Structure formats: structure tokens, C-alpha cells
Amino acid sequence: MPDFRGSTGYGSKFNLMDVEDPGGGGLSDVIKVRDYATQFVEKVGIMDYSYGGYMTLLALGESSDKWDFGIAGASVADWVEMYELSDSFFKSFIEILFMGKNLELMKDRSPITYVNNVKAPLCIIHSQNDTRTPLVPVLIHDQELQKGGKTFEFHVIPNLGHAIDDAIDLLLPALIFLKKLFG
């Protein structure tokens, strides 16, 4: 469980390290941890929720040869589309993260840009009523996965927003996915 730059728990300076570089240095941190872990295990996957779900989708597309599976919850699949669908509060957050409405960087750091590179089996879990990370961009991402013949599962959790009320909503589909992959 890497605490990549931008994670909470190490003070405000560390927490802000992904500002102007979302999915850049943080993804490098995750890959370094993955490379270290391969000394001890045969298979390495990536799994997380919200911004970590975004990192999961991005990692599977940008560094597709490094992962044996991925599980992404409440993910950002397309920063540009998400910006258009966001309320004013979250638009402001995205503008801080991307140094304004930097469409070029937003496209470059969007998993949808790299969806055709995905090689590892993927499980995507998303809430039906998530206003923080809207469902529509994830649906479009999934359509592209399907067009490309990628191996993936998509689970929509009904009547749930961004916050996890009960961890079983996220963990059960993830565990079923892992059981199918590894028995």
C-alpha cells in the first residue's frame, strides 16, 4: 500500500505534491513500490478507491506491462468530461490540480487516453449516484474497453454516492473478481 505523493497523512506539503502533476510523480511512486514487491511475489495488482481508483485506471493504461490485475473504485476515467459534469466546488478543485483549465494536461492524465493499452484483467466498481466522480465518464471508458476486447468486469452499486457506507459494497465484487482470476 504505497503512500504516493499527494496522499494524506504526511503533512500538507506531501499532500500537495500532486498539484500541477496529477498522475505523474504519484504514478512513478506506485510503480516503484510495484517493482519492489516483485522481489517477493509473483503477481502484482493495483486496487484503490476515488483518486486511488483513478491511479489504478491510469497505471493499467500507462504502464500496462507491469500489472497482473486491477480493481478500481469510484474512479476518474476522463478529467475533461468530469470537469464538465462537476459542480462549481469540484471544478475549482480540478482547476487547482491542473493549474487552471489545462485541457492538454487533463487529456494527458486521463485514463481514457490510454484505455487501448490495458492488458491486465480489470474490475471497475462505481456508485450509481456518485456526484464526486460521475458515472458517465466511467461508462464511456468501459465502452472503450469493450470495443478493444479487454477483459473487465463492471459493477454499479445502486443507491450509493461517493462515500462508502458499507465496505462490503466495494469488497464483495472485488473478492469475487479475484476468486475468478486466482481461484
Q: What is the dihedral of CA 73, 78, 80, 81, to 10 degrees?
A: -80
Residue 171 CA to residue 23 CA, distance in Å, equals: 24
Number of folded domains that form the chain: 1
Q: In this structure, is residue 151 part of a structural domain?
A: yes
The domain of 87 spans 46-182
Who has greater pLDDT, 115 or 161? 115
* Most confident segment among 6-10, 119-123, 164-168, 169-173: 119-123
Residues 27 and 55: beta-carbon distance below 8 Å: yes
Does 50 participate in catalysis according to the annotation?
yes
Asked whether residue 97 is domain-assigned, the answer is yes
Residue 18 confidence (pLDDT) = 78
Question: What does the longest C-alpha to C-alpha distance in the chain come to?
Answer: 46
In a domain, 37, yes or no: no
**Residue 128 near residue 78 (C-beta atoms within 8 A):** no
Asked if the structure places residue 139 within a domain, the reply is: yes
Does residue 33 carry a pLDDT above 80? yes
Which has the higher per-residue pLDDT, 17 or 110?
110
- Whether residue 163 lies inside any domain: the answer is yes
* Inside any domain, residue 55: yes
Q: Is 75 a catalytic residue?
A: no
**Terminal-to-terminal C-alpha distance of the chain:** 23
Catalytic residue chosen out of the listed positions 21, 78, 130, 142: 130
- Tens digits of residue pLDDT in 65-90: 999 999 999 999 999 999 999 989 99
How far apart, in whole angstroms, are the C-alpha atoms of residue 80 and residue 94? 10
The reply to whether 112 falls in a domain is: yes
Residues 97-154 pLDDT 10s: 999 999 999 999 999 999 999 999 999 999 999 988 999 999 999 999 999 999 999 9
Task: Exactly one of 50, 86, 110, 127 is catalytic; name it.
Answer: 50
CATH number at residue 136: 3.40.50.1820
